[in-house]
Amino acid sequence: MFNQDIVNNFQNKETPFYYYDLELLKRTLKACADAADKYRFHVHFALKANFNSRVLQTVKDAGLGADCVSGGEVKKAIESGFNAQQVVFAGVGKSDREINYALDQDIFAFNVESIQELEVINELARAKNKIARVAIRINPNVDAHTHHYITTGLDENKFGINSWDLQSVADALKQSTNLSFLGIHFHVGSQILDMNVFKSLCVKVNEMQAWFEERGMPVKVLNVGGGLGVDYHQPDTNPIADFEAYFKIFADFLTVKPHQEVHFELGRALVAQCSSLISRVLYMKHGIKKNFAVLDAGMTELMRPALYQAYHKIENISKLGQPETMAYDVVGPICESSDCFGKDVNLPTTQRGDLIALRTAGAYGEVMASAYNLRPDIKHVYSED
Ligand SMILES: Cc1ncc(COP(=O)(O)O)c(C=O)c1O
Ligand SMILES: N[C@@H](CCCC[NH3+])C(=O)O
């Protein structure tokens, strides 16, 4: 929520930059921890959503683990002070170098996505005379009812091992001298707001854990992934996701035995609302059909609208409290027509030099930035500074 003091503080800053409200981040982390602790659930933060150093520091200080999807993320997590015993590593294409690095760090678990990968981890662990802990990522064929680009748990998706291959996986695990089977891992997609999706996931997890246990393979960890969505339309009314309702679904529908731990990998729900991309209006272009507000930020700083037609609330924070008078297409400076943050966005009368906030940009914002058009590095402003 922007007020005049915050905006005044932005006046002499070079734009564009990501503004981080670290106080909101802390409140969000606390809300998540309070809700998860009730059921003794363990939450890992999905670094892919945001690996800004100050954000990671805050997340680490709140006691969360780290969910990584590359060797680079594993390294960043370890260097940021996350305990290796709380680091998990997923991804369909882990390279030998990445696996070796994670083995050297003695991370908690590899979330394995194919039989081929299982064999490679076993070999590399044997060469180091180590035992790698593995969880099997299963493709549960549960529809997340979200954008098809961020749906991950359907038979046609590349992620995880399909149920018909599980017998081969169980056989391979039994024959692998340097692997220790820890449990099962799932992740069905992102920006999920329909809690029934998680209910369907619980049913699958219960089926799958029974399958392994019937074959004499105890499942110690049930990792149900992440995916909880946030309110992109009303960031001020709903700044914190409904963690209570989310964890309650798993508490109600997941069968958890005394020897088991339940792990989560939340990204978006923890960090999306704590950041906005702040940019300045460079030019106002008035056409016959359209009025354009051309910003100094573009798809290179926030790619989600161009890539997924994602909605981010757009506010003219130089005109706080003023009535909306006109519809503008809010666009960036990049040489692509998809470099558009919103069409026909109602705003107060907007001028060159006005500050524009693109809200709910803390997840998959800064991390997906690119240098296309030789854009400068992303800058930051933190609420605590
Ligand atoms: C395996 C895995 N875990 C966790 C996440 C984090 O998802 P989200 O940011 O939706 O919570 C993702 C991304 O979708 C993922 O692919
Ligand atoms: N990058 C996506 C989410 C992908 C999640 C990663 N599996 C987004 O901006 O919504």
* Residue of 68, 113, 149, 152 to test ligand 2 pocket, by largest number of atoms within 8 Å of CB: 149
Contact status, residue 178 vs residue 130, Cβ threshold 8 Å: yes
Q: Which of 210, 243, 272 is the endpoint of a domain? A: 272
Beta strands 17-20 and 275-286 are antiparallel
CATH of the domain at 347: 2.40.37.10
In a shared domain, residues 105 and 31: yes
Owning domain of residue 132: 23-272
Residue 335 known to be catalytic:
yes
In a shared domain, residues 377 and 339: yes
pLDDT for position 73:
98
Q: Is 372 exposed, middle or buried (0-12, 13-18, 19+ CB in 10 A)?
A: middle
Q: Is 202 exposed, middle or buried (0-12, 13-18, 19+ CB in 10 A)?
A: buried
Task: Report the separation in Å between the CA atom of 26 and the middle of ligand 2, taken as the mean of its atom positions.
Answer: 22
Q: Which of 272, 296, 325 is the endpoint of a domain? A: 272
In a shared domain, residues 267 and 277: no
In a shared domain, residues 142 and 167: yes
User: Tokens in use for 186?
Assistant: 């799932």
Ligand lying closest to the C-alpha of residue 191: 1
In a shared domain, residues 161 and 204: yes
In a shared domain, residues 96 and 156: yes
CB 140 near ligand 1, within 6 Å: no
In total, how many domains does the chain have? 2
Contact status, residue 312 vs residue 361, Cβ threshold 8 Å: yes
In a shared domain, residues 148 and 210: yes
For residue 341, give the 3-state DSSP assignment: strand
In a shared domain, residues 268 and 280: no
CATH of the domain at 201: 3.20.20.10
Nearest CA to ligand 2 atom 1: 364
Q: Which of 209, 180, 10, 5 lies closest to 106 in space, CA to CA? A: 180
Ligand lying closest to the C-alpha of residue 49: 1
Q: Which of 318, 363, 322, 324 lies closest to 342 in space, CA to CA? A: 324
Q: Is the peptide bond before 333 cis (omega within 30 degrees of 0)?
A: no
pLDDT for position 159:
80
Nearest CA to ligand 1 atom 1: 187
* Residue of 150, 185, 187 to test ligand 2 pocket, by largest number of atoms within 8 Å of CB: 150
In a shared domain, residues 324 and 181: no
Residues paired with 261 in a beta bridge? 221
Contact status, residue 19 vs residue 360, Cβ threshold 8 Å: no
In a shared domain, residues 34 and 8: no
Binding residues for substrate are: 268, 304, 308, 336, 364
In a shared domain, residues 159 and 192: yes
CB 133 near ligand 1, within 6 Å: no
Q: Is 305 exposed, middle or buried (0-12, 13-18, 19+ CB in 10 A)?
A: buried
**Predicted ipTM of the assembly:** 0.98
Task: Report the separation in Å between the CA atom of 364 and the middle of ligand 2, taken as the mean of its atom positions.
Answer: 6
Pocket lined around ligand 2, Cβ cut-off 6 Å? 48, 150, 152, 190-191, 304, 364
Binding residues are: 227, 265-268, 304, 308, 336, 364
Q: Which of 203, 208, 192 lies closest to 266 in space, CA to CA? A: 192
Task: Report the separation in Å between the CA atom of 226 and the middle of ligand 1, taken as the mean of its atom positions.
Answer: 5
For residue 16, give the 3-state DSSP assignment: coil
Q: Which of 250, 272, 294 is the endpoint of a domain? A: 272
pLDDT for position 150:
63
Print pLDDT tens along the chain (385 aa).
Answer: 899 999 999 999 999 999 999 999 999 999 999 999 999 999 999 999 999 999 999 999 999 999 999 999 999 999 999 999 999 999 999 999 999 999 999 999 999 999 999 999 999 999 999 999 999 999 988 887 777 766 666 677 778 898 889 999 999 999 999 999 999 999 999 999 999 999 999 999 999 999 999 999 999 999 999 999 999 999 999 999 999 999 999 999 999 999 999 999 999 999 999 999 999 999 999 988 899 999 999 999 999 999 999 999 999 999 999 999 999 999 999 999 999 999 999 999 999 999 999 999 999 999 999 999 999 999 999 998 8
pLDDT for position 124:
98
In a shared domain, residues 96 and 116: yes
Task: Report the separation in Å between the CA atom of 318 and the middle of ligand 1, taken as the mean of its atom positions.
Answer: 35
